[in-house]
Amino acid sequence: MIVGLTIKGRYHIISLLGQGGFGETYLAEDRDLPNHPRCVVKRLQPQSNEPFVLETAKRLFKRESEYLYNLGKHDRIPQLLADIEENQEFYLVQELIEGHDLSKEFNPPHQRGAKGVQFSEKEVIQLLYDILEILRAVHQQNVIHRDIKPSNLMRRDSDSRIVLIDFGAVKEIYSQSNYPTGQPQTVPIGTPGYVPSEQEKGHPKLCSDIYAVGMVGIQALTGIFPHELPKDSQTLEVIWRERVSVSPQLAAILDKMVRYQWQQRYQSADEALQAIQPLVASSVSRRLPSLNLSKILKVLICLGFMTITAIFVLQNSHELLKRQRDMQPTPSSTQKPII
């Protein structure tokens, strides 16, 4: 715990926000700037002192810094503010996202088998679209996030938009020309239930993130944790459709996102976005007829009345001015001018 410490004489640690396998996350304030704006400080603090774990943690930490620097220019990815090494400790300073993570909205129950909050189909469509929009920018950099889950998806207070956080597990994809015998195996990273088989085996791909997004969507629809959903004993596909009523169009998209065989999924966020775009447009068009017609009618009547009143007033004003001019006495032609 480093609460009360000021890093680099600038970032004062206020409180602990959370901790994971490789580090701790703190709320801090920047004392070099006016009004001391708040920020997030991540401290590298592996839970093991084994050389392999320490080396892996340092590598992932530096990689997160590099990718946040490039990706943080996106409006819905936290901006990297500083990368600090001090007294043999490593820190990342990031933009603070005011809001809450989606695990708070899902409200997952503690008892196994019970349901959490279920989103409407329209809400799930919009959620998938929002996540995939951010992920497209990540995938365009040939980067895999590798840990997409509700707790790494923040809903920003200012505009209710989704923000993707925690890039500590990101991995860049290299071309096969760099590795003639195939891409080397990586350290398996991710959260059970949201991780596809190829990522568990150390061979993540862009579509591994698509699998995670699909599982987030299924969890939002069903209210059930991904790891609690059964799988087909033959195909190993996730069995979820019987748990909720959903349109065939959305069900087909989710099924393709979470296929066991990675070759059968959407291969990138851009491809998945193209598939879900028609559902987003359809959701918007269905929303228009649901507006309160009686309120619209009242507004139109009010506007019509105001228009008629304005015309009546203008006409009468014209007549009144004409009468006033007619009533004015005509100067006598024989009247002598006043000297």
Q: Which residues are catalytic?
A: 147
- Give the C-alpha separation, 334 to 332, whole Å: 5
**Taking Cα atoms as reference points, which of 226, 200, 227, 231 lies closest to residue 215?**
226
Residue 113 three-state SS: coil
- Give the C-alpha separation, 183 to 244, whole Å: 39
Q: Decide if 172 contacts 183 (C-beta within 8 A).
A: no
Residue 190 three-state SS: coil
For residue 28, give every residue at least 6 positions away whose Cβ sits within 8 Å of its Cβ, in sequence order, or none: 7, 11, 12, 13, 14, 38, 39, 40, 41, 93
Give the CA distances from residue 221 to residues 110, 122, 196, 251, in Å, rounded to whole numbers and listed in that order: 18, 10, 19, 10
Q: Decide if 302 contacts 296 (C-beta within 8 A).
A: no
The distance of Cα 67 from the centroid of its chain, to the nearest Å, equals: 18
The structure tokens 């996730």 sit at: 238
| Secondary structure E strands in the chain | 6-7, 11-19, 23-30, 38-44, 80-86, 89-95, 99-101, 143-144, 153-156, 162-164, 171-172
For residue 52, give every residue at least 6 positions away whose Cβ sits within 8 Å of its Cβ, in sequence order, or none: none
**Looking at residue 233, what DSSP letter applies?**
T
- Give the C-alpha separation, 26 to 93, whole Å: 10
The structure tokens 């603070």 sit at: 96
